[in-house]
Structure 1
Amino acid sequence: MYNKGLLIYNEHAGNQDKYNQIGEAVKAITPYVRALTIQKSEAPGDIEQIAAEKGVEMDIVFVMGGDGTLHEAINGIAPLKERPVIGILPAGTSNDFARSIGVPIHVKNAALLAGQGKETAVDLGQINERYFINFAGVGLVTQVSENIDENLKQTTGPFSYMYSALKTVQETSQPFRYKIIDDENQQHAGTAVMIAVLNGKSIGTTEIPFANEMPDQGSMKLVIVREAGLHLFREWLQFKVKPESPQEEPSIEVYDTASFTLTTEDKMDVDTDGETYQESHFVFQALPAYIRFLIPLE
């Protein structure tokens, strides 16, 4: 039983069943939370601010929305000294991190984890001053997000990510020069079309080869895709192949990493869980077992 809980949702996101979903969630949660507060956001940044201001008072915070909403909540809660448990109520297009930790995609079933699930501590990623829970990346992964057709996203859901990814690979992927210094002070330099750090197992519901089975390893996967690896990346997106070992394809490098610095020649957009900002120097670190989430017992 939790004493104080908060349910945050995005007023301008989700589908027409949103209020029915809120009702189902509240009905499922209230037997396990003595005092539940419900608060909506109305503008970008509201979720982060609400989570930061209210989270310190709460035992548990339920976040209803997609990966972007969860990203905002994480960035509000992560800096707190005393961090509440997070319950994901998946109501977005892809719900990638919820899938990664086994949270049911139906909101009511996810809400029932308040009394029928368990808490588990998962790793969190930090790049410069921002936090991410599922992935962060530069290059192709950012271009995919920028190329998503919002109308297509509303009508086809996760397919819009696949369509955007294939279109981006074929038409607009741009190589860039980079330098990485890893956690063993080894330097890696060259030209790539994508560099990504993976904590979750999927992006746009597409499962990522080589990803950790659960985000609780104390390290994350650093993936570097060179231009020569685009053919394999395209085939992977189309489910034609699923590589089992990075050594089989030298144009795609995969490392376990707990920290590194990345420098690019020009400023680039970095995509963190679907939210972007621009830098040319990135300091990454994994924060082991940093935030507790509700997950199923099995």
Structure 2
Amino acid sequence: MEMKKLLFIYNPKSGTGKIKSRLSDVIDMCVKEGYEVTIRPTQAHLDAMDYVEKNGKHYDKIICSGGDGTLDEVVKGLLAGGYDIPVGYIPAGSTNDFAGSLGISSMTMKAAKTAVYGTPFACDIGKFNQNYFVYVAAFGLLTEVSYETDQKVKNVLGHMAYVGEAIRSFSPGSLKAYNMSIIAGDRMIKDDFIYGMVSNSASIGGMKMLPTNEIALDDGEFEVLLVKYPRNIEEINLMVSSLLAQDPDPEYIYYFKASHLEVHSEEKVAWTLDGENGGMHEDVEIVNINKAFRICIPQKK
């Protein structure tokens, strides 16, 4: 009987590198389940994506360990290669938004059990012009929080690094207005914004941003959050309070669901995709690809 083949791909620099101390235990679990395991530590940015795209056809399952960026690369590799292979995810980053949204544990061996024995769940992703994102596309305030926070600082401070950067973003004089026109279905919005997020996750940068009871990761729709440009400090405080309370105030914040968006801005705007630099764009088309890949989640008891 031919053994099932499994690719275990991990980022040795992600988070505190905690996966390395449990690597033997995780691989042993995979072998006991009947897998022939190939181990691949990532060598550089986009290495996971390139390797999966070129070699994914040889495997029955892929397990990745790292931050959300590592998972992001694996999924992009699967899409580029046209593979329908279940993915297991062992989160090892300083902030693991997507794993938390799926109920995947932050504890290495518990997450490993889910990756090996869990139930494949068909999950949505987003197409952003010709690129892809797994859980969030964003612009404006807070978007520099992830990819401009030094990796070593993230490792030491974890969530606090993200929160600290976010608070600093609200300092006087740092508020930039983005004049945008947004079409979402039959909805047309034209306004000045300081922040926008198209999300498939319950938290961003470790901070719960949206009412979790309204979020489904396989419904073919994104959660869209657009924060208007505030006229004074009082409005800033009201905005922040409503976000922290997970009750967006329609006076200052647009919050709705959409499967397709067209965004036009008066100038090139910096976007982030899953916390990574997504480039500068005037025109953006964002499309939800329903149930685009399968990820292993905890079995229901």
- TM-score in same-fold range (> 0.5): yes
The one of 245, 248, 259 aligned to 1:242: 245
Q: Which residue of 2 aligns with 1:182?
A: 184
Residues 1:283 and 2:294 are matched in the alignment: no
AA aligned to 1:175 is: A
Distance 1:80 1:65, change over 3 A: same
Number of the residue aligned with 1:219: 221
Range that drifts further, 250-259 or 13-22: 13-22
Cα displacement (A) at 1:16: 4.5
State the alpha-carbon separation in 2 of the partners of residues 227 and 33 from structure 1. 56
Q: What is the one-letter code of the residue matched to 1:235? A: S
Contact 2:270–2:281 under 8 Å retained in 1: yes
Contact kept in structure 1, 2:90 and 2:115, CA below 8 Å? no
1:2-17 correspondence runs (5 A): 3-17=4-18
For 1:232 and 1:60, how far apart are their aligned partners in 2?
47
Cα pair distance change 1:8/1:150, threshold 3 Å: closer
Distance 1:82 1:164, change over 3 A: same
Distance 1:203 1:33, change over 3 A: farther
Read off the aligned partner of 1:217 and give its amino acid letter.
Answer: D
Gaps of 5+ in 2: none
* Structure-2 residue corresponding to 1:209: 210
Q: Please, which moves more after superposition, 226-235 or 259-268?
A: 226-235
Paired amino acid for 2:245: K
Separation (CA, whole Å) in 2 of partners of 1:169 and 1:54:
44
- In structure 2, relative to structure 1, the CA distance for the partners of 1:76 and 1:233 (3 Å cut) is farther
Alpha-carbon distance change, 33 to 274 in structure 1, aligned in 2, over 3 angstroms? farther
Further displaced range: 111-120 or 253-262: 111-120
The separation in 1 between residues aligned to 2:237 and 2:52, in whole angstroms, is: 42
Q: 1:296 maps to which residue?
A: 298
1:213 counterpart letter in structure 2:
I
Cα distance between partner residues in 1 of 2:23 and 2:175: 40
User: 1:141 is paired with a residue of what secondary structure?
Assistant: coil
Q: Which residue of 2 is the match for residue 191 of structure 1?
A: 192
> What is the deviation of 1:284?
0.3
Task: Quote the offset at 1:233 in angstroms.
Answer: 4.4
Question: What do residues 243-280 of structure 1 show as CA deviations (whole Å, max 9, x unaligned)?
Answer: 43x4x432110111000111111112111111112222
1:39-118 pair list within 5 angstroms: 39-118=40-119
Q: Determine the C-alpha separation between the residues in 2 that align with 1:117 and 1:43.
A: 29
CA distance in 1, matches of 2:11, 2:25: 16
Q: Does 2:234 align with 1:231?
A: no
CA distance in 1, matches of 2:98, 2:119: 17
Contact (CA 8 Å) 2:123, 2:218: kept in 1 or not?
Answer: yes
Instruction: Tell me the distance in 2 between the aligned counterparts of 1:85 and 1:273.
Output: 20
Which residue pairs with 2:25 in the alignment?
Answer: 24
* Aligned partners of 1:56 and 1:83 also within 8 Å: no
Deviations 1:140-187 (A, max 9, x none): 132333553544322111111011111102242311111112223x42
Q: Number of matched residues?
A: 292
Write out per-residue CA displacement over residues 8-29 of structure 1, whole angstroms, 9 at most, x where no aligned residue: 1123333243321322221222
Partner residue, 2:253: 252
Q: Percent identity of the aligned residues?
A: 25
**Distance in 2 between the 1:278 and 1:2 partners?**
46
